Amino acid sequence: MTKETCFLTTKDFTILEVMRDRCLGQDDPLAPILKRKIETATVMFREDIPVNVATLSSRVTFSVNGRDPDTRVISYDKVTTPIGMFLPIARPRGLALLGLCEGSEFVLADVDGAEERIVLHEVLYQPEAARRDKEAMERMSAAPSGKPSLRVIRGALHDQPRLAPVGAGGFDDPGPSAA
């Protein structure tokens, strides 16, 4: 068996610990998955989590047993929004995806012993990365004094071309003889 690695934010790790404490015992299908996730977790602050790791509220593309990829948002609990949009971590597949990096896989075994191989293809959106990007943009746009900076732009009337004067008989062009 290969060494499993699970990258979790401090918040995600805490949620998994609470879920483990609330498990109904060894018969709970999430208990072995939670145990594997917690034991192999590398816990990181949200500012340090790599952008290619699936965290809570991340939109991910994954496949199960090599079938066509599916895209979902990893959520905390059952959501009352359109079916097929979210994948809660209260379900084995959602829990399996949490903490995986792009290209890694997690193998689940159901009650009959049949294995299900879940591969994370891509993290399309990660809230932690989006937050870091937003904060970086705010730092770049802020003036050193803390005051907003203004840039004066000339109005459209300033740059209009000057018109040639028109005489009483039409266009005032003296012709080539004036040259």
Interval 46-68 mean pLDDT: 95
Higher pLDDT, 17 or 156: 17
C-alpha 156 chain-centroid distance: 41
d(CA 40, CA 123): 20
Q: Are 106 and 118 in contact (CB under 8 A)?
A: yes
What domains are defined for the chain?
A: 6-133 (3.10.50.30)
The pLDDT tens digits of the residues spanning 131-143 come to 999 988 888 776 5
The pLDDT tens digits of the residues spanning 72-101 come to 999 987 666 667 789 999 999 999 999 999
Long-range contacts of 112-119 (CB under 8 A, 24+ apart): 116/64, 116/65, 116/92, 117/64, 117/65, 117/66, 118/62, 118/63, 118/64, 118/93, 119/62, 119/63, 119/66
Q: E-strand spans in 12-136?
A: 41-44, 59-64, 70-75, 86-88, 105-109, 115-125
The mean of the pLDDT values for the chain is 83
Cut 0.85: pTM above it: no
The band of 170, judged by pLDDT with boundaries at 50, 70 and 90, is low
Give the pLDDT of residue 153.
62
Q: Are 46 and 28 in contact (CB under 8 A)?
A: no
DSSP 91: S
